[in-house]
Each structure stands twice: as structure tokens, then as C-alpha cells.
């Protein structure tokens, strides 16, 4: 929803040693540039078809984890550190992960909230999960 989120996520990926996969949308380059304050190039995968890329990653043995409210979702505090290649999927702040992508998930993680908000900013949510997966929280 807000372009700076993508650059913020890129900085978090860099901080934990992860890569960022981005879709082929026109606004992506500007969004990365707006929020990215890194002085060196970082790891960005530009994927032509996000759904195909997720399916390929899963077939290749990656664990595909969505940050989404779901009945079977693991609470963030209970999420184990990633022990193999893990792909974290984030959805739109208002609409979540698209239904066609939900079918490609191996699991889901939720971030408990006690306030009145329904969700966190996507960059904040993604950063929390990345740090947990990396074993840094």
C-alpha cells in the first residue's frame, strides 16, 4: 500500500541475511529506491510470475510460510527458527495473501495483537517474522 514498505523490507532482509523476491509491477523499482538506505547492492529476486515462482520454490524443497490469520497458524512466539530454505509470503495490508497463493503455503504464522487494530504494517509484520525465522529474536 505504501511504497516505503518494500525498501524497509529490503533493509530487514539485508539485516538477517535474506533475499527479497519482488513481483514485476511498475511501482517496484521506485518503492525499493524510496525505502532503501543501504549503501551496497542487496539480494533482490525479480520474479516474473509470483505464483509460479512460489510453486517452483516449494517443489525445490523450500518451506513456504505465509504471514496470515488462519485457523492452523502458528503464533509468532512459537515459530521455530528456519532450518532450511524458507520463503515468507506477505499479502496486501488490507486484503491479505491472495487466495490462489494460499494454496501454495506449507503453513502460516500469525502475530498476536491485543489492541484494536486488525493488522500491522506489512513492513513491520514481515520484519518481525524475518527476525524470528533467522533466530535473532
**How do residues 15-66 score in pLDDT, each as one tens digit?**
999 999 998 888 888 888 776 777 787 899 999 999 999 999 999 999 999 9
pLDDT of residue 26: 84
Q: Is 13 exposed, middle or buried (0-12, 13-18, 19+ CB in 10 A)?
A: buried
Which pTM value belongs to this model?
Answer: 0.90
Q: What is the CA radius of gyration of the chain?
A: 14
Q: Which of 11, 16, 9 lies closest to 37 in space, CA to CA?
A: 11
Amino acid at each position: 500500500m505504501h511504497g516505503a514498505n518494500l525498501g524497509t523490507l529490503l533493509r530487514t532482509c539485508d539485516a538477517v541475511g535474506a533475499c527479497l523476491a519482488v513481483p514485476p509491477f511498475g511501482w517496484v523499482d521506485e518503492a525499493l529506491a524510496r525505502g532503501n538506505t543501504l549503501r551496497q547492492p542487496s539480494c533482490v529476486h525479480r520474479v516474473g510470475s509470483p505464483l509460479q515462482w512460489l510453486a517452483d520454490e516449494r517443489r525445490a524443497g523450500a518451506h513456504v510460510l505465509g504471514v496470515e490469520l488462519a485457523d492452523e497458524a502458528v503464533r509468532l512466539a512459537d515459530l521455530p527458527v528456519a532450518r532450511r530454505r524458507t520463503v515468507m509470503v506477505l499479502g496486501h495490508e488490507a486484503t491479505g495473501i491472495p487466495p490462489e497463493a494460499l494454496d501454495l503455503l506449507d503453513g502460516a504464522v500469525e502475530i498476536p495483537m491485543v489492541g484494536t487494530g486488525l493488522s500491522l504494517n506489512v513492513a513491520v509484520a514481515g520484519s518481525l517474522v524475518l527476525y524470528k525465522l533467522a533466530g535473532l529474536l
